A and B are shown apart, each in its own frame.
Chain A
């Protein structure tokens, strides 16, 4: 609203889609470069999910048949909890030196910033999954009885489902008193259908008993619905004062 009072409304309309793309790309490369130099989030996420793999494998010591049934749940719960680490620091970085406030008064479209943050998180969480999946396969002696290639769309769609809402709710929890604690409390209830889709889809492929098609369609629907909702509502959240 105050953009227009500063005469920024014209600037907004001048912003073409290429400008949006430039802003998204600039923020994305900045975030990934920062993460690449420090590797804070990636290291703690990797170690956390390694701990989950070891502790569960140790405490259940499952047979190959049992692990096919439980691995889907374990993998995604481990990734879900690990992803919260990356999601929590998404916006925290921008609080230092009032970067977020500067962004708010600039005529840059909020959606470009949101997409950059969501894509950055998607990249980091996907990297974590790519690194951890071989370990899961080794520790749980996994071999898919169904069409294994379908794990790729489930992985990509599921990760986006976690990350797009996670980025949005991280922006919300940034405004609360107990930031880090608030994110999982907001994210997990909303993510229940997505988590169910990932877990049931993965289990269906690993056991080869059912088709995973419904779950892929469900994840796709979830992604479309919530990506639209995030883009529509992000401005309201960024400018909630």
Chain B
């Protein structure tokens, strides 16, 4: 598993370079929007990746409440963190694209608002994790994740009714996309997914290592060991080797 990591890292880097080339050079220029439309290849894959990660977070949160497995909790935490990163990319690229095309930076449209609320909910999730003790954080955060998931359909319907007069979004509003654009979009999404997986993986390893060190320290202070820090704390590679197996 540990050897696989650098291989995946190199592969992801190559895929990202290829995806950039596809998006900026190979993909045809959109007729009405021009080159600005190429931000589509970053905006949409980021959104899909973020939604997928939030879904992983929900599944892991429910699984944690049922099974109480700390590894599942680490997965929930990691997917929320990386999901927020991708969701931020969506919320930043959106206005950059909207300004030249719609003439405005922001509008309280269904998709925009729902994505923003989703982002807000997950930021509050990360804050909760940050501000609670490590023993209690998993169950509390899992409960919040379930509340967030229940909230999203209600957010969607309320905004949808509130803003029915607003025109449909340009992309995916029933229009058809050039098949070449689809291909580039999917290539970009694959690259983004690999990148997300890579980030989740390294963050997961870091998190499990942090927890092991924390446990070792707690154990040591419990036993009143005065022989100095354990092997893991003196040499983090020990913990790394263990978690990498």
Residues of chain A having any CB pair with chain B under 8 Å? 165, 168, 172, 175-178, 182, 185-186, 189-190, 192-193, 196-197, 200, 214, 218, 221-222, 225-226, 229, 233, 236-237, 240-241
Contacts of B132 in A (CB 8 A): 175-177
Would A172 and B120 count as touching, CB distance under 8 A? no
* 8 examples of A-B residue contacts, CB within 8 angstroms: A168-B147, A177-B132, A177-B133, A190-B124, A192-B151, A193-B155, A196-B158, A225-B154
Would A190 and B151 count as touching, CB distance under 8 A? yes
Extra inter-chain contacts (11) besides given A176-B132, A182-B128, A196-B158, CB under 8 Å: A177-B132, A177-B133, A185-B124, A186-B124, A192-B151, A200-B158, A222-B154, A233-B65, A236-B139, A240-B140, A241-B135
Would B143 and A197 count as touching, CB distance under 8 A? no
Would A214 and B161 count as touching, CB distance under 8 A? yes
Would A178 and B131 count as touching, CB distance under 8 A? yes
Contact of B157 (CB < 8 Å), options: A168, A177, A182, A218: A218
Within 8 A of A (CB), among B29-66: 65
**B144 close to A (CB within 8 Å):** yes
Chain A interface mostly: helix
Would A190 and B147 count as touching, CB distance under 8 A? yes
Q: With the chains together, A225 CA to B158 CA distance in Å? A: 15
Q: Number of B residues contacting the other chain (C-beta, 8 Å)?
A: 31
Known: A189-B117, A218-B158, A240-B136. A233 touches B143 (CB 8 A): yes
Contact of A229 (CB < 8 Å), options: B120, B123, B146, B159: B146
Contacts of B161 in A (CB 8 A): 214, 218
Closest to A225 in B: B150
Residues of chain B having any CB pair with chain A under 8 Å? 65, 117, 120-121, 123-124, 127-128, 131-133, 135-136, 138-140, 142-144, 146-148, 150-151, 154-155, 157-159, 161-162
Q: With the chains together, A57 CA to B146 CA distance in Å? A: 39
Known: A175-B136, A214-B161, A241-B136. A186 touches B128 (CB 8 A): yes
Q: Shortest Cβ distance from B150 into chain A, in angstroms?
A: 6
Q: Shortest Cβ distance from B238 into chain A, in angstroms?
A: 29
Known: A176-B132, A196-B158, A218-B158. A190 touches B140 (CB 8 A): no
Contacts of B147 in A (CB 8 A): 165, 168, 190, 226, 229, 233
Q: Shortest Cβ distance from B114 into chain A, in angstroms?
A: 10
Would B133 and A233 count as touching, CB distance under 8 A? no
Known: A178-B131, A182-B128. A192 touches B146 (CB 8 A): no
Q: Shortest Cβ distance from A161 into chain B, in angstroms?
A: 10
Would A221 and B154 count as touching, CB distance under 8 A? yes
Nearest first, the 5 A-B pairs at minimum CB distance are A240-B139, A189-B120, A193-B154, A176-B131, A193-B158
Q: With the chains together, A156 CA to B133 CA distance in Å? A: 36
Q: With the chains together, A175 CA to B65 CA distance in Å? A: 17
Contact of B150 (CB < 8 Å), options: A178, A192, A226: A226
Closest to A194 in B: B154
